[in-house]
Every structure is written in C-alpha cells, then in structure tokens.
C-alpha cells in the first residue's frame, strides 16, 4: 500500500485510537486530534508515533495542511447525555467545522462515524433507506450529521463523504468509556470476579454486536473503495442475544456462571437490532471477519494478557 497521510479526529478515543494505530502500523503518516475531555485517554495512544493536537474541534482546528483523507470519530457518544446544546455543538458544529477544514485544504475524502441510534426502534433488518427515528439527542445529532454530509457534498461535488452507522461495537480500547463501555466488557469484568453476570430478563434481547477490528476494517474499506457520498451500516448483519455473550465468556474464561436476570427499568428498550449489510458490501467491499465467538475469544485473550492487541 502506498504511504498516505491521514487525520484522525477523536483519535484518543475507543474507535479512533484503533483506526490511528492500525493506519500507522500499515506505514501511513497519521495525525490525531482529541480534546481529551470526553472519552479520549492518552493510554489509548501509548506507542503512537504521530503528532497529536489537543484541541476541541468546535472551538479550534488543526493548522492548515493537506491529508489524503480524514477519519472523523470525535463526538460525544454517551447516549445518556441530555444537554442538547452541548451534544449539538460537539457532534454537529464540530463536524461542520471539519468539513469546512477539508474543503479549504482540498481534502477530498472524509469518513465519519454515524450511528445505528439514528434508526431508533425501527424495523429490522435496518436498512439505510428506511426512515430515521432517533430516541435521544445523540441519535438526533447523528441524523443531522448525515443530512449535513449530503448537503455539503452537493455543494462541494469533488468531495466524497461517507458515514458509517456503527451498531454495538466492543473490543480493545473501550476501557475508559466507563458506564458506556460495551456489555461484553462489563459482563467480562463481572464474571472475572466470579460474579453472576447481570442482564435484563431473560437475556433474549438481541443486538448486532460488532468487533472493533471489523469497524476499523469498515473505515479503511470506505476510505479506499468508497466512490460516492453515502451513509452505510457498519456491523456484522447478525443479531445475537445477551445470553449468547455470557455463553461465549463462560467458554473463554473456563467458568459456568448462570445469568442473574433483573427487571428492565427502562420504558424504551430495543428488543432487537440487526443491520442489513448488503449496501456496505456493494459500495465498499466490506464484509466482517469476526463472529461473536471469534471476536470474544480474541478480546478475552487480549484482556487476559495472552496476546497483544
């Protein structure tokens, strides 16, 4: 692969750091932007050799420069944040700023993080063409990002802007997300301590759980192969239950812990999410490499120190 130069925003966060380190390992020159005020943590970038801008994209932009592409991962991802102004500033206005930065610096390709939260409690399998119906301001902010990308591309038709609607992502680098870390990670921590894993009754709710290494692959496929502005699902296309997670973790930890089923206190709770992945494959060639079983096996090996990330 020819050496290229990339900018990764939110590059100290969960997904951004995985993208930045993968690109660097492939021999590319990578610059990271992160305000270190939300989910970004310097420990996610230990060993990273590139430059890091410690700035908030809503307030400031990096020095003018040319990049072969931008991976925009910077955002508030905590779906429980109810401060609408803060969410819209950090998720929409910062995105607007980075698109203007790209246009001004003649950067023709931007791949950005959208979200399955745009679908809300929509029909399954979830298709990019179906109506959006966000249930929180986070999902709403991503709907507006998708709208903004389409309009910006129409006004700047030499740019290709590709949004990836992430489903339930888990994997190395999420350790600093606190309560927003994946259920895979939270259940691993409970079971590692010998506790029965706690899930809502009766663990049959289903999600499209996708390993972060596949999400990195989806981003690289979009950057390399995407030929037009569009919004695409980023997932596995297979829904699995919370009971399935516990079964996989028991297998990898050598335990036999039964679930501790608790009442669900939330009036709104999606019983199933599942992505239709046909458009992503058509537009970028992306297909996932990991099943839930192989992903959890890889993740637990990393968490247990049996292999490097």
Catalytic, out of 119, 138, 286, 299: 138
Q: Residue 138 catalytic?
A: yes
Q: Residue 177 catalytic?
A: yes
Catalytic, out of 177, 192, 247, 272: 177
Quick one: tokens of 170? 């888990």
- For 160-170, give one letter per residue: b (16+ CB within 10 A) or e: bbbbbbbbbbb
C-alpha span between 242 and 240 (Å, rounded): 7
C-alpha span between 42 and 285 (Å, rounded): 33
Q: Which residues are catalytic?
A: 138, 177
């Amino acid at each position: 692969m020819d050496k290229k130069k990339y900018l990764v925003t939110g590059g100290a966060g969960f997904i951004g750091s995985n993208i930045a380190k993968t690109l660097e390992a492939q021999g590319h020159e990578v610059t990271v932007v992160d305000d270190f005020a939300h989910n970004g943590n310097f420990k996610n970038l230990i060993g990273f050799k590139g430059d890091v801008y410690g700035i908030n994209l809503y307030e400031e932009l990096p020095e003018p420069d040319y990049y072969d592409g931008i991976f925009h991962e910077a955002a508030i991802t905590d779906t429980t944040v109810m401060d609408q102004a803060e969410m819209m500033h950090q998720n929409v206005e910062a995105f607007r700023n980075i698109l203007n930065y790209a246009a001004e610096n003649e950067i023709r390709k931007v791949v950005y993080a959208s979200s399955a939260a745009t679908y809300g409690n929509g029909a399954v399998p979830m298709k990019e063409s179906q109506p959006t119906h966000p249930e929180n301001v986070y999902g709403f902010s991503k709907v507006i990002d998708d709208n903004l990308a389409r309009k910006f591309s129409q006004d700047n038709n030499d740019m290709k802007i590709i949004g990836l609607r992430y489903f339930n992502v888990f994997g190395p680098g999420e350790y600093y997300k606190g309560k927003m870390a994946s259920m895979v990670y939270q259940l691993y921590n409970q079971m590692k301590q010998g506790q029965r894993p706690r899930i809502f009754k009766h663990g049959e709710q289903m999600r499209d759980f996708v390993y972060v290494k596949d999400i990195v692959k989806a981003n690289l496929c979009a950057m390399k192969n995407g030929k037009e502005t569009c919004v695409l699902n980023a997932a596995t296309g297979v829904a699995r239950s919370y009971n399935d997670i516990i079964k996989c973790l028991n297998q990898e930890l050598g335990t036999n812990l039964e679930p501790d089923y608790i009442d669900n206190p939330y009036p709104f709770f999606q019983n199933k999410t599942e992505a239709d992945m046909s458009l992503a494959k058509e537009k970028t060639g992306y297909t996932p490499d990991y099943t839930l079983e192989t992903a959890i096996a890889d993740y637990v090996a990393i968490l247990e120190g049996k292999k490097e990330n």
